[in-house]
Structure 1
Amino acid sequence: MSSSTLSRGAAKWALLSLAIGSFGIGMTEFVSMGLLPGIAADLLPAAWASSREQAVAQAGLLISVYALGVVIGAPLIAGYAARFARQRALIVLASGLLVGNVLTVLAPTFETVAAARFLAGLPHGAYFGIAALVAADLLGPGLRGQGVAVVMSGLTVANVVGVPLGTWLGQLAGWRVAYAVVVGVFVLAALLIALVVPAMPGDRSRSLRHELGVFRIGQVWLAFAMGAIGFGAFFAIYSYIAPLMTEVAGAPEWAVPLALVAAGLGMTVGNVLGGILADRNLARALVVAFVLLAAGAAVVGVAAATPVTLVASMLLFGAISALASPAVQTRLMDVSGDRPTIAASLNHSGMNVGNSLGAALGGGVIALGWGYVAPAWLGVALALAGVGIVLFSLARERRAVAVTA
């Protein structure tokens, strides 16, 4: 059955199955943040005994390694998969995510866990890119931003339910239990995709070499940079939410999931609004989203002194951070020409460059002794850099249109 003949109810089930896969991705990517102290104590006992700050900063490298897998895997896997049926490609990608998380559960040392996280990250961007194209096709013209938002909704809901639950379970029974739950989510996602997502044929004439030609388009690089630099602001703060909550705000460890739930609720609302704004006026949505992201990071820096104000600020910051994602995804699809598969996956490469950059720079300013609040002010600087990239991209586009006219 093609997407054009799919009933409304069947389309909703197809979108739900895609969102469950993105729920699993959101959980496996973000649950690490709330479990960094436990991971550091288990896998880096000598460093933990010497300096907890240094051990947490070193454990943060697992976040960066996962993100590196996303960055490398997204264009290569998506480009290769463009020639295959999209449903089949999504099943394979969900299965790859499943295997990567099984290895994370079983890996015995810090080095082998790092390798497992890298492997788990490889299918991430390609899954989101192909799922976004399927969702856009299911909803039709004029609703692409909202189609992207539906796929992304699994990611944001993961931050409301999956990440706090995984964090709580990890604190209670060991951090590996959280990743075991993720394995179950991907089993369900793969089964549902096989059952309810329509068979959408790929283009057998496509080659990886042709698809990689998208990197010759300057606007694609600028859209990629929006995510890489701008979203680094979010990840600089979110990666270290556990020590920010316990060491700065003075809350007990059990309160960390409250901050994660607040951020996830905000992201869920922001994602829906971001899809609507992207469909109404894409350029304005991009500018507004990144300006607000800088302001939100500053609010977190000021509000981190007490548990109540920190949780409230994370609710606001989560909502603001999710506004830009549908807009950047749609922008990449707009500027990619006839190579949408890789371009659609690059949003998540960019986000995970931001993930790696934010986690690494955030860990760096903490290791320098600037304190756990320093990543919030780093986030302000990164978000403002994102604003600059957006304005430069739009100005360059206007000049190109004027020259053509």
Structure 2
Amino acid sequence: MPLALHLLAVAVFAMGTSEFMLAGLLPGIAADLGVSAGTAGLLTSGFAVGMVVGAPLMAALARNRPGRSSLLVFVLVFLAAHVVGALTGDFAVLLATRVVAALANAGFLAVAVSTAAGLVPPDAKGRALSVLLGGTTVATVAGVPGGALLGALLGWRATFWAVALLCLPAALGVLRGIPAPRPGGAAAPDLRRELAELRRPRLLLMMLLGALVNAATFGTLTFFALVVTGPAALGPLWVSVALVLFGLGSFAGVTAAGRLSDRRPGLVLAAGGPLLLLGWITLATSAGEPYALLPLAFVQGALSFAVGSTLITRVLYESPGAPAMSGSYATAALNLGAVAGPLVAAPTLGTGLAAVGPVWTSAALTAAALLLTALSARVFTGKAAPRPAPN
């Protein structure tokens, strides 16, 4: 894989750390800025909204600009948002910086996915995507726990400064690693033609399946601490252990899938999908057993990201007529799942299922994806999307 891909993954690591770090910082932010914990939670909601809206919007705005300059602008805006966030004493300003950071994050990821696909041969998009998503999985393993520790030792503002500093090597990587556009290069395809790709049944199906699997992933991951400290009756320190195991599994899963999703995606989906469902059911029924819970954290991380990243890779393959917007379609599917999963899972906490309610929700979402796959067998067995004719 080209060095440029790994340099882009550094930026994805910084942005992934920022996306997930608030879970451990909200109490400190609430106390420092004089707001309630519920109000501080709006920071997470604001970031989520910015991610969902930002992917297609930022990709559309950047489509006529060279990929390198767009990526650099997004990184610098992301950096500036964290500097302002670290300095402000006003909650409204901090909330605004989170929305701006999310827009930059979504725009960067959408353009980076399309750029990554153009840096590798046409049949290596899955491996390219696995490198980028590897930045996100490393963030869950190292960045988020590290940010939480830094916040506990030096305050939440220190974590914002650390994310801003991580953007500097990311910006340098974009400048040094992404090729400059050639003079007189091909013009971007018409936006209406790119949006017309969304009429492809296979593309829409892959986006929906990817969103369902990602919703299942984040439906449990968001509330996993409640399972660890509730049914499993483990101490708070074990929450970090479980999350690190999930992160290690997700890195292993996305890496393995990157080597299979280009040539044998059907194998990953046919084997991984049912195993993923079985894993959620097993986790829900054995959550009170720590010796089962901790290994399952690793297994479910691996299966979730293996199946999810393979489906997102298919989004790229099924949108050949949208070279500038395909990355935003893939990113939108990921973000919709990340937002919808916790929203669907949260109400189950108040039922008799209690802490394992979100896990059963993940099982239901995965089952829905498998059922939709079975009902759409003709779409899967049909011909792949044809390559667009050269202009």
Structure 2 length-normalised TM:
0.86
Matched, 1:87 2:77: no
Amino acid at match of 2:220: I
Other-structure match for 2:334: 351
Q: Distance in 1 between matches of 2:353 and 2:23?
A: 19
- Report Cα offsets for 1:209-235 as digits up to 9, x if no partner: 443333333332222211222211110
Matched, 1:189 2:179: no
Match for residue 179 of structure 1 among 160, 166, 178? 160
Match for residue 302 of structure 1 among 254, 262, 285? 285
Other-structure match for 1:136: 117
Shift, 1:85, TM fit:
1.4
Shift, 1:112, TM fit:
4.7
Matched, 1:322 2:305: yes
1:227-266 mapped onto 2 (5 Å cutoff):
227-266=210-249
Q: Distance in 2 between matches of 1:85 and 1:304?
A: 49
Moved more, 243-252 or 258-267: 243-252
- Report Cα offsets for 1:118-162 as digits up to 9, x if no partner: 222213333223323333333323322111111211111112211
How has the CA–CA distance of structure 1 residues 400 and 353 changed in structure 2, closer, same or farther, with 3 Å as cutoff? same
Structure with the higher helix share, 1 or 2: 1
Q: SS at the partner of 1:280?
A: coil
Other-structure match for 2:20: 30
- Report Cα offsets for 1:27-63 as digits up to 9, x if no partner: 11222344456566667865x6xxxxxx5xx765544
Amino acid at match of 1:97: F
Q: Distance in 2 between matches of 1:63 and 1:264?
A: 20
Contact 1:227 1:354 in 2 (8 A): yes
Q: SS at the partner of 1:252?
A: coil
Other-structure match for 2:86: 105
- Report Cα offsets for 1:67-96 as digits up to 9, x if no partner: 221221111211232222111111112223
Q: SS at the partner of 1:140?
A: coil
Contact 2:351 2:357 in 1 (8 A): no
Q: SS at the partner of 2:324?
A: helix
Superposition CA RMSD, Å: 2.8
Contact 1:274 1:324 in 2 (8 A): yes
Residues matched between the structures, number: 382
Q: Distance in 2 between matches of 1:322 and 1:371?
A: 26
Other-structure match for 1:271: 254
Q: Distance in 2 between matches of 1:271 and 1:194?
A: 27
1:110-125 mapped onto 2 (5 Å cutoff):
112-125=93-106
Structure 2 unaligned residues grouped into runs of 5+? 385-391
Q: Distance in 2 between matches of 1:41 and 1:243?
A: 23
Contact 1:224 1:346 in 2 (8 A): yes
Match for residue 162 of structure 1 among 139, 143, 161? 143
- Report Cα offsets for 1:332-382 as digits up to 9, x if no partner: 112113113322222221111111111222322225574222111111111
Q: SS at the partner of 2:160?
A: helix
Q: SS at the partner of 2:244?
A: helix
How has the CA–CA distance of structure 1 residues 354 and 206 changed in structure 2, closer, same or farther, with 3 Å as cutoff? same
Q: Percent identity?
A: 32
Other-structure match for 2:365: 382
How has the CA–CA distance of structure 1 residues 328 and 37 changed in structure 2, closer, same or farther, with 3 Å as cutoff? farther
How has the CA–CA distance of structure 1 residues 98 and 295 changed in structure 2, closer, same or farther, with 3 Å as cutoff? farther
Contact 2:114 2:325 in 1 (8 A): no
Structure 1 length-normalised TM:
0.83
Contact 1:60 1:363 in 2 (8 A): no
Shift, 1:299, TM fit:
3.2
Q: Distance in 2 between matches of 1:345 and 1:282?
A: 21
Other-structure match for 1:96: 77
Other-structure match for 1:16: 6
Matched, 1:312 2:295: yes
Q: SS at the partner of 2:358?
A: helix
Contact 1:160 1:265 in 2 (8 A): yes
Shift, 1:397, TM fit:
4.6
Q: Distance in 1 between matches of 2:58 and 2:381?
A: 33
Amino acid at match of 2:215: G
How has the CA–CA distance of structure 1 residues 266 and 44 changed in structure 2, closer, same or farther, with 3 Å as cutoff? farther
Q: SS at the partner of 1:251?
A: coil
Q: Distance in 1 between matches of 2:205 and 2:53?
A: 18
